[in-house]
Structure 1
Amino acid sequence: MKLTTLTPPLEALHASCDDILLVSLISHDGLPVVHFGEGLDFDDQSALFFEMRKACDRVLRNLKLGHSEEIFIRCRQGCISIWPVKDMVFACLARPAINSQRMQMLVWKTRAQLEKRL
C-alpha cells in the first residue's frame, strides 16, 4: 500500500466541506496512517476511533448482528463517522452544524475510493 494512493480521496473529503474538521485512516493497531485536518493529538484520537469501532463490533457480535458497517455519533459539539476499510478504520470528525446526510454521503464515497485503492 502506497500512501500516495490513499492521500487524494482523504484530502478531497477534507477540502469538500468547511464543517469537516478531521479525516483519518487508522491502521489495525490504532495508529494514524494518513490524516488531514485539526486534531487534539492524532495518535490519541486514532486510538480512540479504533477502540470505538472494536467496542461497537463486540456489542454487535454479542447481539448476533454481525460487524459494523458504519458508526455515526452526533453530540452537541460534533459528529463522528467511523467505517471499516479492510483491516483499517476510516474516521471523519465534523462540526455539529454539518448536514448529517451530506456527511454520510461524502464519507461513503471516500470509503468506496479507499476500498478500491487497498
Structure 2
Amino acid sequence: MKLAALMPPLEALYASSDEILLVMLISNDGLPIVHVGEGLDYDEQSTLFFEMKRACDRVLEGLSLGHSEELFIRCREGCICIWPVKDMVFACLARPSINSQQMQMRVWKTLSQLNSRD
C-alpha cells in the first residue's frame, strides 16, 4: 500500500472533529507508518498502541474468543480506538468528551477506505 494512498483517509478523519487529537497507522512491528495530529513521541505512542492490541489479543486467545476487531478505551483524560488494518494497526486518540458512537462511525468509514486501497 502506497503512503500517498494512506494519507487522505487519515487526514479526513482528523479533520472531521476537533475532538480527535491523533490518527496513526502502525507497522506490524510497532513502528509508526503515518500519523496526523498531535503527538509528543510518535515512536513511543505507536509502540504503546501496538502493545495494547497485542495484550488484548493474548487475553482473547486465552479465552478462546479469537483476535480483537476493535479496542475502545475511555479514561478521564481521553479515549483510544485501536483496530487491525491489513498487516497494520490503526489507532485514533481523542478527547474524553467525544461521542463514542460518532467516533466509531467515523473510524469505520476510514477503515473501509483504508481496506479498499492497495
**Per-residue displacement from partner, 1:75-116 (whole Å, max 9, x unpaired)?**
000000000001110000000010010001101110111111
Cα distance in 2, alignment partners of residues 55 and 104 from structure 1? 21
Matched, 1:99 2:99: yes
- CA-CA distance at 1:20 after TM superposition: 0.1
**TM-score between both structures, scaled by the size of structure 2:** 0.98
Partner of 1:115: 115
Following TM superposition, where does structure 1 have runs of at least 4 consecutive aligned residues deviating by more than 6 angstroms? none
Structural mapping, 1:1-118, within 5 Å: 1-118=1-118
**TM-score between both structures, scaled by the size of structure 1:** 0.98
Corresponding residue SS for 2:57: helix
What is the identity, as a one-letter code, of the residue corresponding to 1:61?
Answer: E
Count of aligned residue pairs for this structure pair: 118
Cα distance in 2, alignment partners of residues 62 and 87 from structure 1? 22
Cα distance in 2, alignment partners of residues 61 and 86 from structure 1? 19
- CA-CA distance at 1:117 after TM superposition: 1.1
